[in-house]
A and B are shown apart, each in its own frame.
Chain A
Amino acid sequence: MTSTPIPPPGQVVAHGEGQHVSHNLTGFIIFLCSESVIFLAFFSGYAILRLSALDWLPAGVDGLEWRMPLINTVVLVSSSLTMVVAEHFKGKEKVWLFRAFWLLTMAMGAYFLYGQAVEWSGLKFGFTSGTFGGTFYLLTGFHGLHVATGVLLMGLMLFKSFIPGNYSGGEEGVKATSLFWHFVDVIWVILFVLLYVWRA
């Protein structure tokens, strides 16, 4: 259909090297960007409901206790740092130090979940207490689900670190988990500001 210039003889072109690289990390980043929109939707829904409400707080509730959540926040934010340290040690091939800090990060995540559960159990309002209760439990619950997922992912990565040679060729799983954890962290900071810092 179209004329072709004659290629130089004997030229063998090896193509397709790029084909077998794993694209997991790219895909995961794209997914995280998309996931952040759900939170954005919840945040904007919360803000709109709160700004248009006549009586935001249900009867008998005069605001949220913020000290315990603040401790929780500090723990979660620091866990991002311990995770960076863990990754640093992995880069230097100090596997045991990596595991130690990784485990520490997991523990801090688990503590956050525990703190969240304690806070929930002490509250005087429920899921169905108007839009205040609904948005509070929705936001913290949906975020808590992400924290739990993050802890489970970390557990998986920790387990994988014991498979000999597993991390020698590249460690997209660890990178993805750490990205996810930082994401969950950032979301929590916004959430904390929206729920606890924002006063009427």
Chain B
Amino acid sequence: MTSTLPLARPEEGQSWTRYFGFNTDAKVIGIQYIVVAFFFFLIGGFLAMIIRGELITPASDLVDRTVYNGLYTMHGTIMLFLFIFPVLNGLNNLLIPTMIGAPDMAFPRLNAVAFWLVPIFGSLLIASFFVPGGPAYSGWWSYPPVSIQNPLGNLINGQGLWLVAVALSGVSSIMGAVNFVTTILRMRAPGMGFFRMPVFCWTALAAQTLQLIGLPALTGGAIMLLLDLTAGTSFYRPEGGGDPVLYQHFFWFYSHPAVYVIILPVFGIFSELFPVYSRKPLFGYVYVSVASFIIVGLGLIVWVHHFFPSGVPEWMRNLFMFTTMLIAVPTGVKVFAWLGTIWRGKLQLTTPMLFCLGGLVNFVFAGITGIMLATVPIDIHVNNTYFVVGHFHYVIYGAAVMGIFAAIYHWFPKFTGRMPYEGLGKLHFLLTFVGANLNFLPMHPLGLMGMPRRVSSYDPEFAFWNVLASLGAFLLGVSIIPFLLNIISSWARGPRASHNPWNAIGLEWLLPSPPPEDNFGEHVPTVISRPYGYGSDEPLVEHQAEIEKALILQEATR
């Protein structure tokens, strides 16, 4: 009987230095991704502080306008390509193999290469601060012709480095996506059919499918932009017969789905955590899982809503308005499913649960402003204003980053073997929630009043809301301190975590904390029921009681 149980393997003997080298263990790579992502998060956040510092007064008085433009461009680029995507890939690396009972990713070496590309293109992007002329300054969209103007005429310029970095990021993401999809399709534990798979894996599969379909379009568009910039072609150059709006199609064909690449795994996190901390099964599991793929399908046919004022014919405006509206339906289904999950539950307001609830509140708000933006006549007015900036920061920071924090607090004990501190966690939540709302809510009235985004100075009538937003931003800057304190101190000397401190159901909680290098190794348990069987007394896997007994025994003897 003991042959079905994971052997007790001590965590000692694994040096912490493995985090600094080329390691093929998905759990090491996952932590590498997350740590690197937060390093860049601090840089991107620092740039945001300068941006909000400039905007606290109407005049352009803190930094030069060229510097401002470079900083906001780099803020967006770093936060998306060097924070959000890597941190989500980190979570994918930690969670996908352990949740489906695989020993590692399908292609461990490819996985490591994909990770190591991140610091490489990250350094390249940071290096662009130091080339003559400064970094890219045309916004993270890099719309031509502004992005191909190249004022100094040098071959090595900020915009060129930006493009190379983004292309490398695309290569890394494609490698990751191939890996994640193959792993989920081919390496699930025995008995784990698609409809016994945790929702996080469903959403990861959906998100990575979007990467595979969308990213090459951006890569193609970016190659043409790079050629225009450096080789003198005229794909987007009006003087040579090119079409600058063509780039917008390529860019948004990927970059709208990219938002779903970000938010879908966060939906997965919500779907994982609400059941745990409500002690109830996920309401409408099949519905929630399938909704992810409806979002994938619709997410690919909405991109034109990003440039309604670019001169898009009326039939196209109406068509893309309809598809954009439709995408609210599967999203709404998910929101209702989470409400159904917490309804009449036994709520435990732990730090991860607070982050989930706060993220949900922000997400619902962002959804409503999203519907407004989808409506063509309103969009014509607020497009390219601070209304849009407010909307997507609600999505990205208010919902996605909050969800990511929830995931980090929730799975931290599993992968480090240490418990994070609740007090600091709750303080972190409070500062984040208040800071995010104070920062991003005032952007909506600003946009409605007609303040364009990306401005380095503005008319005095916008000052009041900008001061509020800046104060919120500084509060957000402070909010990261308790998080870092919490993570560093609890990782170093926090209380030891048991294999299942939150009393959660899932394969990953049937592993020791931290899990051994090959997870279940040869002893992958057979899954015999749906996930989230809270309150149903049904075991998730065969021989669950023995597995848990062995884990408890192992914890008692360490």
Kindly specify which of B100-108, B126-134, B153-161 makes contact with the partner chain. B100-108
User: A138 at interface (Cβ–Cβ under 8 A)?
Assistant: yes
- B213 close to A (CB within 8 Å): yes
**A119 close to B (CB within 8 Å):** no
Residues of the A chain whose Cβ atoms lie less than 8 Å from the Cβ of B240? 128, 130-131, 134
User: In residues 27-44 of chain A, which contact B (Cβ within 8 Å)?
Assistant: 27, 30-31, 33-42
| Closest chain A CB from B176 CB (angstroms) | 12
Contact with B along A11-40 (1 / 0, CB 8 A): 011111011010110110011011111111
A37 near B217: Cβ-Cβ < 8 Å: yes
Shortest Cβ distance from residue B307 to the other chain A in the assembled complex, whole angstroms: 15
Which residues of B in the span 139-198 have a Cβ within 8 Å of any Cβ on A? 174, 177-179, 181-183, 185-187, 189-190
The reply to whether B526 and A138 contact each other, CB–CB distance below 8 Å, is: no
Do A40 and B217 have beta carbons less than 8 Å apart?
yes
Which residues of chain A have a CB within 8 Å of any CB of chain B?
A: 1-7, 9-10, 12-16, 18-19, 21, 23-24, 26-27, 30-31, 33-42, 45, 48-49, 52-55, 127-128, 130-135, 138, 142
- Cα distance A31–B177 when bound, in Å? 9
Whole-angstrom CA separation of A32 from B340 in the bound complex: 41
Q: Could you tell me if B235 and A134 are in contact, using CB atoms closer than 8 angstroms?
A: yes
Residues of B within 8 A of A128 (CB): 231-234, 240
Given contacts A7-B542, A127-B232, 20 further A-B contacts (CB under 8 A): A4-B543, A13-B543, A16-B524, A19-B522, A19-B524, A23-B186, A27-B107, A27-B179, A34-B177, A35-B216, A37-B215, A38-B217, A38-B219, A41-B221, A45-B221, A45-B250, A128-B231, A128-B233, A128-B234, A131-B234
Please determine whether A45 and B215 come into contact, CB atoms closer than 8 angstroms.
Answer: no
Q: Does B227 contact A (CB under 8 A)?
A: yes
| Known A49-B243, A138-B227; contact A37-B187, beta-carbon cutoff 8 A | no
Complex Cα gap A18–B101 (Å)? 12
Would you call B537 an interface residue if the criterion is a C-beta within 8 Å of the partner chain's C-beta atoms?
A: yes
Among A14, A15, A26, A52, find the residue whose CB has the most chain B CB atoms closer than 10 A: A15
Q: Are B3 and A12 in contact (CB under 8 A)?
A: yes
Q: How far is the CA of A133 from the CA of B240 in the complex (A)?
A: 10
- Residues A13 and B526 in contact, CB atoms below 8 Å apart: yes
B423 at the A interface (CB under 8 A) = no
In the bound complex, what is the Cα–Cα distance between A45 and B235 (angstroms)?
9
B134 CB, nearest partner CB in chain A, Å: 27
